[in-house]
Structure 1
Amino acid sequence: MKPIWIVDDDQSIRFVLEKALLREQLPSRSFTSAREVLTALEEDKPPQVLVSDIRMPGGSGLDLLDKVKARYPGLPVIIMTAYSDLDSAVSAFQGGAFEYLPKPFDLSKAVELIRRAVEESHREEVADEAMAEAPEMLGQAPAMQDVFRAIGRLSQSNVTVMITGESGTGKELVARALHKHSPRAKGPFVAINTAAIPKDLLESELFGHERGAFTGAQTMRRGRFEQADGGTLFLDEIGDMPYDLQTRLLRVLSDGHFYRVGGHSAVKTNVRVIAATHQDLEQRVKEGAFREDLFHRLNVIRLRLPTLRERREDIPMLTRHFLLQSARQLGVEPKRISDAALAWLGQFAFPGNVRQLENMCHWVTVMAPAQVIEPKDLPPEVGVSNALPDALMAMENHDQSAAPLAQQALPDLPVLPDFAAAPAVSAALSNGWEQGLEAEANTLLATDRTDVWDTLTARFESRLIHAALAATRGRRIDAAQKLGIGRNTITRKIQELGLE
């Protein structure tokens, strides 16, 4: 992970933040002036997050913010300021600061704010990678050619677009492609999932709030509409937006003005809106759950994404792409997939669409024992482990009635003769990982070793952490949450097990 840069002419502030970040296993680097930072940017890679004081000799934090944002628009910058300097704080927000940190600050809140900025930085990095890979990931099936052509036609337009399709079809990826090829490409792309944020917080997330607008609003905060000024705002799962907020959204789309929560002055924004939903909005309108006037305002151009079932010819290309992507993220050798395994994937329904295929590729990258992925290595939901043992038992029976049984055990699936020659596969599939662990333990216990517990525990934890990181695309905080452990615990385990 890249370090957090701290810029302050006050040695005590630098020292306190350095020690606090060290305790959280967050690397840091300190500077005493804006000039030092600009010099370092010429020689080194940019930081993960920049934390800067406003008033420093040799250049202000606001000037530094302008110069850093011009070169690295996605870099989160936190501005530190005194309580009496709120005008400067407002200027900082207008200049693109992620957040401002009033002095004197509570150390735990400062660290939590920096962690939020780190997570935002990680999201930006993933988003940049996704935008760079978008043409490759979208596919080449005829169903997707219509999507390509639509993006091309809309490339020089600022028109509002509604993207529809099942969950996991890549709606945000298409929204990013629309932004990338639009006149607003140099502006920010800001995404928000309206279904993932509690109703009480969604208004503040969209429109921001003033200091003191509600309990806990200790600072003024810009909403997503302000953050996306000059660029594109992607409203995912728009069909789940609360009805009362739909009225406020309609007002912004109509004249570009809105009020922050607790605010009295209208804020002007210049944003292109791209909305997405997996729901039938016409039906939601009939049910009275979605405003008809907002529906027509959003539904200027509708772009429907096909399911993966409608573009099965893209499955081999997407599978190989995701396997390469997973290998890069985990720092391992890319795995190859056999034609037999691809045939099984080609018959799978993929209710989770492209996202489910991507998760499967992360899974096999971690869990498949060999470099070539065979059908037996595929995740359980593909159904190989359920269908294969019965078919093998029938194939191994030299009775003439075995063939119909085998065909019946594998309905609508390709016949895989290689498996018929490998009776051991059935036993391997029917045995759980517990039996394998017990066998490995017995092997080690039969030797003179006295570290069997530590050896097997380390191997087990390594596999578990690898799987969690693959499922969360390398995000440690999310992986720790899925495993049910603390973020400090997963960081310590990664270091102890040499997984860096």
Structure 2
Amino acid sequence: MSEDRCALVVDDERDIRELLVLTLTRMGLRVETAATLGMAKSQLANAKFDFCLTDMRLPDGSGLELLSHIADKYPEMPVAMLTAFGNVEAAVEALKLGAFDFVAKPVDLKVLRNLVQHALDLRTERKLAPKAPEPEKRMHGDSPAMAQLRQTIGKVARSQAPVYILGESGAGKELAARSIHDHSPRADGPFVPVNCGAIPPELMESEFFGHKKGSFTGAHADKQGLFQAANGGSLFLDEVAELPLSMQVKLLRAIQEKSVRPVGGQAEEGVDIRLISATHKDLSALVDEGKFRHDLYYRINVIELRVPPLRERVEDIGTLTTMILAKLSERHQMPNTKISNEALDALHAYPFPGNVRELENILERAMTLSDGQAIYPEDLNLPKVAPPAVSVPTETAAPDSPQERAFDAPIAPQSVGTPTGALPEALEQLEKQAIESALLENRYNKTKTAAQLGITFRALRYKLKKLGLD
């Protein structure tokens, strides 16, 4: 590490300061120290620092005051907090105010060195051209909602704080998570996405934390868990609301201790990850119902990021349509397909309960069914009435447009569609509509769809084939 980098250590305990100075000096840093808030402000005014490590409690103030001072006067400087062991609330408050990360006392020197290295990497990357694509290369759209989202992603990426992404199915939560990772100091590390709803409960501990050979029947070799696979990078837990309560306890401990114990293992293994989680459900409501642990909720929801549904950014549909058609033409090695103005108007009028993912599916189907090199309204085959989307908590405001008001209104019984023909055909139509709606709501996860419909997985497979939905 370059000798011209300097760190400021702020702590009123002499032994702690000496330990931190020794550790950081061995990393090649010049280190200055301060025992009080006033001394720290004076040091900052008289010298240039690349990193600050401060205790939460100081004789003449708090580390949070120093954090706010640095954020105001020296916004490019990463700040990490020293907190008392188990004081999660103080650590979370520091992260919300802009701290880069925190270290619990007694200090784990390996964790500290990793933290400092990430902080200095962040400082360097802010000065250099970004290696990853800009957020707009992933998060497409020119609407105010998307501009705000990209701006927030840019800020969130600079921190180490856990991020909680909420948004409807198909809105782009994983794209947002990847953008955060790509613009963080961890961009060179792994990005490990996992759908929590797709892992059987009995295998969750092994999947998350790994296992040792012989720890259970079928464990023929050591296996690395998702936490270990994401070491040095970001772990994205999609549909985190699907975690059973027993697993939530173990996840909370792994996050707080920054270490995991493989199934059948005797010792814990340190892990250095940034946690990003997401769900389409109202997690706060699940906390109130006792279905999600409140302590885990507050630990993962340090920074909240909402991905807007497509119906809230209708002006992006044209841009997205052009981009998706170009991608599909390249994938299928077909001439570029255009879309007629009438078809585009039809897309603008449709509420898209499945969001961008549904738009992609509609366009791919239309592209396949169209006769020429242009898509017309009849090629889109849009549903007469969209299935209801899962609600996501938003700012309390009245719907702005008639389209939004219509979408938010309760669906009348006849809106499902009136079956026609003889009774067997009518029942088949209703069955097909129910299965299609459940598939869409569960993101085409057949196991969850079967459970929701109250039938076996094998029965669902049979019905999908019978109804031409396979």
State how 1:42-53 maps to structure 2 within 5 Å.
Answer: none
In structure 1, the partner of 2:162 is: 160
Which has the bigger relative contact order, CA under 8 A and spacing at least 6?
Answer: 2
Unaligned 5+ runs, structure 2: 1-131, 387-401, 404-442, 445-459, 463-470
**The residue matched to 1:315 in structure 2 has which SS?**
helix
CA distance in 2, matches of 1:382, 1:157: 45
**The residue matched to 2:236 in structure 1 has which SS?**
strand
CA distance in 2, matches of 1:312, 1:236: 25
The answer to whether the Cα contact below 8 Å between 2:190 and 2:230 also exists between their aligned partners in 1 is yes
Name the amino acid aligned to 2:370: A
**The residue matched to 1:251 in structure 2 has which SS?**
helix
The answer to whether the Cα contact below 8 Å between 2:235 and 2:273 also exists between their aligned partners in 1 is yes
In structure 2, the partner of 1:197 is: 199
In structure 2, the partner of 1:324 is: 326
The answer to whether the Cα contact below 8 Å between 1:169 and 1:353 also exists between their aligned partners in 2 is yes
In structure 2, the partner of 1:247 is: 249
Measure how far apart 1:224 and its partner are: 0.6
Equivalent residue in structure 2 for 1:226, among 225, 228, 243: 228
The answer to whether the Cα contact below 8 Å between 2:136 and 2:150 also exists between their aligned partners in 1 is no
The answer to whether the Cα contact below 8 Å between 2:166 and 2:306 also exists between their aligned partners in 1 is yes
Measure how far apart 1:135 and its partner are: 2.5
The answer to whether the Cα contact below 8 Å between 2:214 and 2:220 also exists between their aligned partners in 1 is yes
The answer to whether the Cα contact below 8 Å between 1:210 and 1:263 also exists between their aligned partners in 2 is yes
CA distance in 1, matches of 2:237, 2:295: 17
Measure how far apart 1:181 and its partner are: 0.3
State how 1:33-72 maps to structure 2 within 5 Å.
Answer: none
CA distance in 2, matches of 1:210, 1:369: 57
CA distance in 2, matches of 1:229, 1:294: 21
Unaligned 5+ runs, structure 1: 1-129, 385-410, 413-470, 473-481, 485-500
Equivalent residue in structure 2 for 1:305, among 304, 307, 322: 307
Measure how far apart 1:382 and its partner are: 5.9
CA distance in 1, matches of 2:461, 2:339: 28
Relative to structure 1, the CA distance from residue 330 to residue 483 in structure 2 (aligned partners, 3 Å threshold; closer, same or farther) is: farther
State how 1:175-214 maps to structure 2 within 5 Å.
Answer: 175-214=177-216
CA distance in 2, matches of 1:204, 1:367: 45
Equivalent residue in structure 2 for 1:174, among 173, 176, 183: 176
**The residue matched to 1:168 in structure 2 has which SS?**
coil
**The residue matched to 1:149 in structure 2 has which SS?**
helix
Relative to structure 1, the CA distance from residue 363 to residue 213 in structure 2 (aligned partners, 3 Å threshold; closer, same or farther) is: same
Measure how far apart 1:247 and its partner are: 0.7
In structure 1, the partner of 2:366 is: 364
In structure 2, the partner of 1:378 is: 380
Equivalent residue in structure 2 for 1:354, among 353, 356, 371: 356
CA distance in 1, matches of 2:298, 2:192: 23
In structure 2, the partner of 1:281 is: 283
**The residue matched to 1:273 in structure 2 has which SS?**
strand
CA distance in 1, matches of 2:461, 2:366: 19
Q: Cα deviations across residues 342-364 of structure 1 (Å, max 9, x unaligned)?
A: 00000001010111001112212
In structure 2, the partner of 1:400 is: none
**The residue matched to 1:138 in structure 2 has which SS?**
coil
Q: Cα deviations across residues 106-144 of structure 1 (Å, max 9, x unaligned)?
A: xxxxxxxxxxxxxxxxxxxxxxxx978962543111111
CA distance in 1, matches of 2:311, 2:136: 20
1:143 aligns with 2:139: no
Name the amino acid aligned to 1:202: M
In structure 1, the partner of 2:239 is: 237
Equivalent residue in structure 1 for 2:261, among 244, 259, 262: 259
The answer to whether the Cα contact below 8 Å between 1:324 and 1:335 also exists between their aligned partners in 2 is yes
Name the amino acid aligned to 1:273: L
Identity fraction in percent? 44
The TM-score with structure 1 as length reference comes to: 0.50
Measure how far apart 1:380 and its partner are: 4.1
Cα RMSD of the aligned pairs, angstroms, is 2.5
Name the amino acid aligned to 2:292: F
The answer to whether the Cα contact below 8 Å between 1:131 and 1:176 also exists between their aligned partners in 2 is no
CA distance in 1, matches of 2:331, 2:185: 32
What is the number of equivalent residue pairs in this alignment?
Answer: 262
CA distance in 2, matches of 1:164, 1:177: 15
Name the amino acid aligned to 1:331: Q
Q: Cα deviations across residues 76-113 of structure 1 (Å, max 9, x unaligned)?
A: xxxxxxxxxxxxxxxxxxxxxxxxxxxxxxxxxxxxxx
CA distance in 2, matches of 1:296, 1:287: 15
CA distance in 2, matches of 1:131, 1:209: 36
In structure 2, the partner of 1:293 is: 295
**The residue matched to 1:262 in structure 2 has which SS?**
coil
**The residue matched to 1:195 in structure 2 has which SS?**
helix
Q: Cα deviations across residues 395-425 of structure 1 (Å, max 9, x unaligned)?
A: xxxxxxxxxxxxxxxx98xxxxxxxxxxxxx
Relative to structure 1, the CA distance from residue 233 to residue 134 in structure 2 (aligned partners, 3 Å threshold; closer, same or farther) is: farther
CA distance in 2, matches of 1:314, 1:157: 29
CA distance in 2, matches of 1:376, 1:347: 14
CA distance in 2, matches of 1:192, 1:340: 40
The answer to whether the Cα contact below 8 Å between 2:135 and 2:153 also exists between their aligned partners in 1 is no
Q: Cα deviations across residues 143-172 of structure 1 (Å, max 9, x unaligned)?
A: 112111101112321111000011111000
The answer to whether the Cα contact below 8 Å between 1:192 and 1:234 also exists between their aligned partners in 2 is yes
CA distance in 2, matches of 1:132, 1:145: 12
Q: Cα deviations across residues 368-409 of structure 1 (Å, max 9, x unaligned)?
A: 12101011111342679xxxxxxxxxxxxxxxxxxxxxxxxx
Name the amino acid aligned to 2:302: V
